[in-house]
Structures are given as C-alpha cells and as structure tokens.
A = this chain, B = another copy of it.
C-alpha cells in the first residue's frame, strides 16, 4: 500500500460554516461534493474535533463558501488553523448572512445546506444535505487543493512530503519530527517551540503534528 495514492485525489478548498446561536463559526474543508441534482444535494466530511462539527450536528445546517484563486490566502490561516472554540474568525473576514448562515464574501460561490442524513465515519462525520440556496459571487477560477499546494506555498505537489508519506520513512535520528499539516515542512528537535513559525508557509506551531 502506497498512501501517496491519496494525494492524487482532486479537491477544492472550502470554508464550511455554521451558526451557533448568534455566533458564526467555520473551518476549512476539502471534502465536499455534489451528490444528487434533484433535489440538489451536497455532502461534506468534517473532523469531529472541529468546533464547527458540533454546531452542524446541533443545528443541522451549514454553508459552504468556495474559495477561488483570488481569495485572500489569509482566510485559510484564519479558518484552518484556529478553533472557533477560542477565536471569532469572522472579525477579520468579510461575511454576510444567508438563510441564517454565515457565508464569506471573498469567494467564487456559496451554498446553504440543510442536513438530511449523516454517516459516522470514526474521526469524521459525513453530512449529507439539501441545498436550500446557492449563488455565484465571482468568475475567478475555483481554488483547488493542488493549486493551494503548488502555487500558494511555492512547492510542487510531487515533492511535497505529507504526514502519511513521512511517517512511513524511518526516522533519521532519535529526535522528534513535527510536520506542518499545511505544506509538509518537517521540523526536527526534542520539542517544537511554541512560538515556532513554519519557514515555508508561515503557519504557527499549532499547525504542526508530531510524527509517530
């Protein structure tokens, strides 16, 4: 089994958002796909560790904002590497309310979705829902995950190490190895400094995972 095969799957880059009472929440996801045309339905896969997951499960509603190649990449840092538990991601990000749900403004298109079914997949839940409304916001090219890695991070997808590949390589020393979950940069050392910033993609220490 060569898990690099997983990197050949193609994805977009999405902000999945929900409304927790008066508070908008959201996270970044790659796993979204249309399931049926009639009625129009979409499925997303969300990690149970994300605060947004708990809000979707409670409210049975979410929105998807499709990022474009023109979208400010800082949105990925804000929505992908902070938790809505601690931070209000929407103070620095332009958004609007649609059907009671927050959608971002600097995007290609948005959907509002009412959950009809969900599938427990262990670490993640697959939420399937009916699209209640959707609009196009820009004709910019939708951002793909491959574009994000290749262009925004200035690295080629082929060369980009990932936790899957890296964890399969024997450790070259007895030091711990931490991988940036965004760009694949590897830090080696006894521990990762809490103020560490990825030299490649400028993500904070919280974006790193210990390779085991």
Chain A contacts to B: CB under 8 angstroms: 1-6, 8-12, 30-43, 45, 66, 108-111, 117, 119, 121-124, 126, 128, 131, 133-136, 139, 141-146, 158, 163-164
Q: How many angstroms between the C-alpha atoms of A106 and B11 in the bound complex?
A: 21
Q: How many angstroms between the C-alpha atoms of A126 and B35 in the bound complex?
A: 8
Q: How many angstroms between the C-alpha atoms of A124 and B43 in the bound complex?
A: 12
CB distance from A33 to the nearest CB of B (A): 4
CB distance from A65 to the nearest CB of B (A): 10
Q: Are B34 and A126 in contact (CB under 8 A)?
A: no
Most chain B CB within 10 A, of A32, A38, A45, is at A45
Given A133-B1, A144-B144, A123 and B6 touching (CB < 8 A)?
no
- Picked from B121, B124, B131, B158, the residue with its CB within 8 Å of the CB of A139 is B158
Contacts of A32 in B (CB 8 A): 9, 33
Contacts of A123 in B (CB 8 A): 36-38
Q: How many angstroms between the C-alpha atoms of A45 and B42 in the bound complex?
A: 11
What is the total number of copies of this protein in its complex?
Answer: 2
Q: How many angstroms between the C-alpha atoms of A121 and B158 in the bound complex?
A: 35
Q: Are B5 and A111 in contact (CB under 8 A)?
A: yes
CB distance from A212 to the nearest CB of B (A): 11
Q: Are A136 and B11 in contact (CB under 8 A)?
A: no
Contacts of A38 in B (CB 8 A): 122-123
Given A117-B121, A121-B35, A139-B158, A126 and B12 touching (CB < 8 A)?
no
Q: Are B126 and A128 in contact (CB under 8 A)?
A: yes
- Picked from B30, B36, B124, B131, the residue with its CB within 8 Å of the CB of A36 is B124
25 cross-chain CB contacts under 8 A: A1-B131, A1-B133, A1-B134, A2-B135, A5-B66, A5-B111, A6-B134, A8-B142, A9-B34, A9-B42, A10-B143, A10-B144, A10-B145, A31-B34, A32-B33, A35-B45, A36-B121, A36-B123, A37-B163, A37-B164, A38-B123, A39-B122, A43-B43, A126-B126, A142-B146
Q: How many angstroms between the C-alpha atoms of A66 and B11 in the bound complex?
A: 13
CB distance from A128 to the nearest CB of B (A): 6
